[in-house]
Structure formats: C-alpha cells, structure tokens
Structure 1
C-alpha cells in the first residue's frame, strides 16, 4: 500500500525521474511545499485528524485540506523510505528563537546519506527549509535569501535559519529514539489541548520560488527575498478567494464561514 501511495504522490508532482541525490531530494521538498499547504484549518474545525498514511494522503492531496507537521513529515518520511533512503524520525521542541519551556510537539525526519546527517522538515510552516539541512556549523542556502544549519550546543541540537546575518533558532531536539506512539501522543496535544498553538490560531503557508505566503488569523504576508507585504481581508469573499487561489485549500462555504467569523478578527 505504501508503494502505491508513493507512486500516486510522485505522479501528482509530475516526477518521473529517479530520486537519488541530495539535489533530487531538495527538488522534491520544493515541489511538496509549493503544492501542499501547511495548515491548522482541520484542527480549528475540530475534524478528526488521522496519522494513518492513507488518510494523510487523502486529506492533504485528494481533498486539498492542508496538513501540519505530523502529516506532512510522516508522508515525506514514508516517500523517502519507499525510495530506498536511510531515514529515521524524531520529535523536536518548537522554540521560535526563545528560551521558553515547550513540549516536544514537532515531528521531523533524519536522513543518513553518504556518511552525513541531514534534517528534513517540510512541516514547520513558513519557516520550513527547502533543502535537507546538514549537521554542520556552516549555513547552506535554501531559498529567498534563507540559509539553514543544524548545530549542537550543550548536548542539544538546534535547527537554525539565517537571513541578512540574523540567526533564528526554530527547533531544539535530541536524537533519543522515538516511536509512532510518541507521535500520536504529541499529535493529540497539538490538535486537542486548549493551550496548543494550532487550536487557537488560523495558520496557513506555502513556499514557492518567488515568495512565501503566510496567513495567520487576519494577517496575510507575502515574503519576498528583499521585502515583504502585509495585508488583511475585509470580507468573507476575499478570505475565501485567498484560501482557494493562493493556497489551493478546499473546504465547504459553511466551514470557511466558521473560520472567517471566529479567526479573521483575532
């Protein structure tokens, strides 16, 4: 079944050639992140979110309802595994450049390739790298002026981005073994707990070659290499149009109105 899902996934992205190199994986990451949006909408609508691979594929790709880290990164992990890459999965803490004590509520993938370690993360929203990020002190260019690295400090690994010499730490993690049950537990917190970010905020993002599209509640950002634009929407039709045309998200009008009425004024 995984083999069939991977075949359908690659077909959706119009990928026919073999994926064998780091550059091939980077290309796949870029295609994934400009096609399938990061989204908290299912969480806000209180939909049951399954981590079964078939359900992830159906929700994200067939129904076009977006996904968050536990879905995006599981799908991408299974794709790489089916393609023959040496991959494993782990949990991280999303710290967003703070020293806050936060739970491990983020899934990512570790790639072992030609005696080097790389972090792969297509599920951290608008800050997601579009390359496998090497474990090294040197930053590697990804997209739109953003570079990334993974370093170790005080026995903890940090995923960091850099743009215009400003360094931003997104996640902290160790490499203690994880199991699918750990993801189920973290996933339950992330889409059910009253304090969880995605339970309280409308979040959407897509990354393409020209811009990063990032929507949070009623603020819509388009982030370019050298500047960004910020706007808000003034009516439901505008909100619906942005979700459909800019993010390729598909929900019923009734569901979209619920989201608009509650979160567009936060």
Structure 2
C-alpha cells in the first residue's frame, strides 16, 4: 500500500479523509488506473456539476480551502475550475502525478469558433500511461478517464469517446447516435497557475461567458445522467433514451435541485433564465 502523504507544496493540503467520505469511498485508494476510474465515477455521482453561484453574482474562488469548504463541507457542487482543482488535490494526496491543462470548449459552438481557454482538465499518470481526467464538464463530460496515448474509440459501452490529433492539439469528441461531435480542443501542456486564474475569472465575470447566461446542473446516475439545463429537467440513459420535463417555476426548479442533486437554497432564491 503506497504512502498517502501529499507531495511537498507551499500551499494548503486537502483533507483527504473528508473528501473520501464526501464521495462515499470507505476503503483507502491507491494510485492505479483502476482506482482512478472508480474515483472519477464516484466524484461525478456525488459532487454535482453546477454554476449556480455565478448566477447569484458570487465570486468563484479556486483556492483549495475555499473549494474544500464549498464542495466537501457544505455539500455543494461547482464548475470545472473548482471540480478539477479538488480532484487534482485528492489524486496528488493519494500518490498520483497530476498536470492541469486548459481547453477551448467547442460543444454547441459554430464550426469555425475560437473560444477562450476557459475549461480546466487534468493529465494523470498511471501504470497504463497518461490519462485524460475531467470531472468538471457537466452534461457530456467524461464518465471515466480516457487514455491520452490512444486515438482509438474508447468508452465503447457508454457514450463512446475519441481523441483526434491535429498538429500539436488534441480534440476530445463524443459519439451521439451516428455523429461524432467536438467537446473541446487542447494542447497537452501544463497550464500555469495564473492561466487557471484567468480562465476562472473569465468564466464567472465576462458578460459573454456561458455560465453567466445559462444554468447547468448535472450528475451521474447508475443508469445515465441527470441534468437541469435552464428550465428543463433531462434524464439520459446510457442506451440513448432521453426524457425531458419543463420546470415552469423557480419553486419547481428549487425542489428538483434538492431532491435530485442534494442542493438546497432558501425558498426566495431566484436564478432566472426560466422561459415565459
């Protein structure tokens, strides 16, 4: 069993025991690909993706103590910079080598769009080679990590994925039905801390940032995904079956957030973005 001491760092360390309790893991993990896959799924099943604080006008901090307080102690979720920062800290404490990277989100974008570097992803070293891990995308994010060394189709049993190489860049794609669709593009190099700060700042402050203009909450379920997108509740199974329900009031949306995601807010909370 490897030692679980975090690597030397000038910054604060994660409370690993509290994190493992949060995701429901009772045994001590080890730095293997099998455990990485298990941790990835558990994290996405228990810590929902959500951008609710952005819509409430709150600042998003990616300092580890703030992330731990929100996502672990308070039972909240967050978006990529929070989710993947927390996941990276936990993986390092377990004994993995983790490198943060930045990506340009292409999902739901015009073909020729050049969006900002506003999505944080992770390279994780394992005994089977480097893996792309990402617990912070939401509705079509990774279920489990995929190999960074392969361009073959991966995740054959659920939402097939592949990486396409173009020059020095890699494009992460998902197959939905018969079509392959871009999710994001990235250069597999380490992101400097200041670039992570800038990407996070853009995500919660820029008027055109996606999270300033749409509500998205998502988590994995045993049979698929549960998603709230603005005023729509979507449940999508791994076999492709989709059910949709319109949430016609803020009260109905608050109720769904509590029942399906464990996210509770005062009854007077208003996120907006409900269709008339």
**Shift in Å, 1:202:** 1.0
In structure 1, the partner of 2:253 is 239
**Shift in Å, 1:17:** 3.1
Taking structure 1 as the reference length, the TM-score comes to 0.91
Whole-angstrom CA distance in 1 between matches of 2:229 and 2:140: 13
In structure 1, the partner of 2:6 is none
Aligned residues: CA RMSD: 1.9
In structure 2, the partner of 1:13 is 23
Indicate if the aligned counterparts of 1:88 and 1:109 stay in contact, CA closer than 8 A: yes
Taking structure 2 as the reference length, the TM-score comes to 0.88
Whole-angstrom CA distance in 2 between matches of 1:31 and 1:2: 24
Greater Cα shift, 196-205 or 151-160? 151-160
TM-aligned CA distance change 1:117 to 1:249, over 3 Å: same
Gaps of 5+ in 1: none
TM-aligned CA distance change 1:103 to 1:45, over 3 Å: same
Whole-angstrom CA distance in 2 between matches of 1:221 and 1:162: 18
**Shift in Å, 1:4:** 5.0
Gaps of 5+ in 2: 1-10
In terms of fraction of residues, the more helix-rich structure is: 1
State the SS of the aligned residue for 2:120: strand
Indicate if the aligned counterparts of 1:131 and 1:142 stay in contact, CA closer than 8 A: no
In structure 1, the partner of 2:121 is 108
Structure 1 runs, 4 residues or longer, greater than 4 Å off: 1-4
Aligned residues: 261
In structure 2, the partner of 1:230 is 244
Whole-angstrom CA distance in 1 between matches of 2:233 and 2:43: 21
Whole-angstrom CA distance in 1 between matches of 2:13 and 2:60: 22
Instruction: After superposition, give the CA deviation of every residue in 1:175-219 in whole Å (9 maximum; x if it has no partner).
Output: 333211111111111100000000011111111221211111112
